[in-house]
Amino acid sequence: MKPPISASVSQEQFLTILSREEALARFEAALFPRDLVAEDRALADALGLVLAKDVVAAVDVPPFDRSNVDGFAVRSADLATAGESAPVSVVLNSETIACGTPPLITVNQGTATPIATGGPIPRGADAVVMVEHTQPAGHDAIEIRRAVAPGQFVSYAGSDIARGEVVLREGTLIGSRETGMLAACGVARISVVRKPRVAIVSTGDELIQPGQPLRPAGIFDTNGAIVAAAVAENGGDAHFLGAFPDDEEKLEGVMREALASSDMLILSGGTSKGEGDVSHRIVARLGQPGIIAHGVALKPGKPLCLAVCEGKPVVILPGFPTSAMFTFHDMIVPVLRRLASLPQRSDARVTAKVPVRIASELGRTEFVMVSLVEGDDGLIAYPTGKGSGAITSFSQADGFLKIDALAEQMPAGTATDVTLFTPHVRVPDLVIVGSHCTGLDLVTEPLVRRGMSVRSISVGSLGGLSAARRGECDLAPIHLLDEKTNTYNAPFLVDGLELVPGYRRMQGIVFRSGDRRFEGRSADEAVQAALNDPSCLMVNRNQGAGTRILIDRLLGGARPDGYWNQPRSHNAVAAAVAQNRADWGMTIAPVASAAGLGFIPVAEEHYDFALVTSRKERPAVHAFLDALASADVRKSLEQAGFQPA
Q: Which residues bind ligand AMP (CB under 6 A)?
A: 202, 204, 206-207, 219, 221-224, 268-272, 318-321
Please write down the HEC assignment for all residues of 46-77. CCCCEECCCEECCCCECCCCEECCCEEEECHH
Angle at 566 between CA 564 and CA 569, to 5 degrees: 170
Rounded to the nearest whole angstrom, what is the least distance from the CB of residue 292 to Mg ion in the complex?
A: 22
269 binds Mg ion (CB under 5 A): yes
CA dihedral 393, 395, 396, 402 (to 10 degrees): 60
Rounded to the nearest whole angstrom, what is the least distance from the CB of residue 230 to ligand AMP in the complex?
A: 13
- The option from Mg ion, ligand AMP, none interacting with 295 (CB < 5 to 8 A, set by class) reads none
User: 75-81 long-range CB contacts below 8 Å, 24 or more apart?
Assistant: 75/107, 75/109, 75/124, 75/125, 75/126, 75/127, 76/126, 76/127, 76/147, 76/148, 76/149, 76/150, 76/152, 77/109, 78/109, 78/110, 79/129, 79/144, 79/146, 79/147, 79/148, 80/147, 81/147
Angle at 581 between CA 576 and CA 583, to 5 degrees: 80
- The option from ligand AMP, Mg ion, none interacting with 207 (CB < 5 to 8 A, set by class) reads ligand AMP
Which residue is at the shortest CB distance from ligand AMP? Answer: 319
Q: Is 155 in a helix, a strand, or coil?
A: strand
204 binds Mg ion (CB under 5 A): yes
Nearer to Mg ion, 204 or 383 (CB): 204
- The option from ligand AMP, Mg ion, none interacting with 605 (CB < 5 to 8 A, set by class) reads none
Nearer to ligand AMP, 119 or 236 (CB): 236
- The option from ligand AMP, Mg ion, none interacting with 508 (CB < 5 to 8 A, set by class) reads none
Nearer to Mg ion, 204 or 313 (CB): 204
Nearer to Mg ion, 218 or 334 (CB): 218
- Beta carbons of 457 and 384 less than 8 angstroms apart: yes
- Beta carbons of 439 and 607 less than 8 angstroms apart: yes
Q: What is the Cα–Cα distance from 209 to 616, expressed in whole angstroms? A: 46
Helix (H) or strand (E) holding 370: strand 365-375
Nearer to ligand AMP, 153 or 320 (CB): 320
Nearer to ligand AMP, 244 or 599 (CB): 244
- The option from Mg ion, ligand AMP, none interacting with 458 (CB < 5 to 8 A, set by class) reads none
Q: What is the Cα–Cα distance from 47 to 41, expressed in whole angstroms? A: 10
Interface segment toward Mg ion; rule CB under 5 A; list 41-49, 319-327, 416-424, 586-594: 319-327
Rounded to the nearest whole angstrom, what is the least distance from the CB of residue 426 to ligand AMP in the complex?
A: 27
303 binds Mg ion (CB under 5 A): no
Rounded to the nearest whole angstrom, what is the least distance from the CB of residue 293 to ligand AMP in the complex?
A: 16
Nearer to Mg ion, 249 or 377 (CB): 249
From 196, 236, 270, 303, residue interacting with Mg ion (rule: CB under 5 A)? 270
Rounded to the nearest whole angstrom, what is the least distance from the CB of residue 245 to Mg ion in the complex?
A: 9
**Footprint of Mg ion on this chain (CB under 5 A)?**
204, 269-270, 319
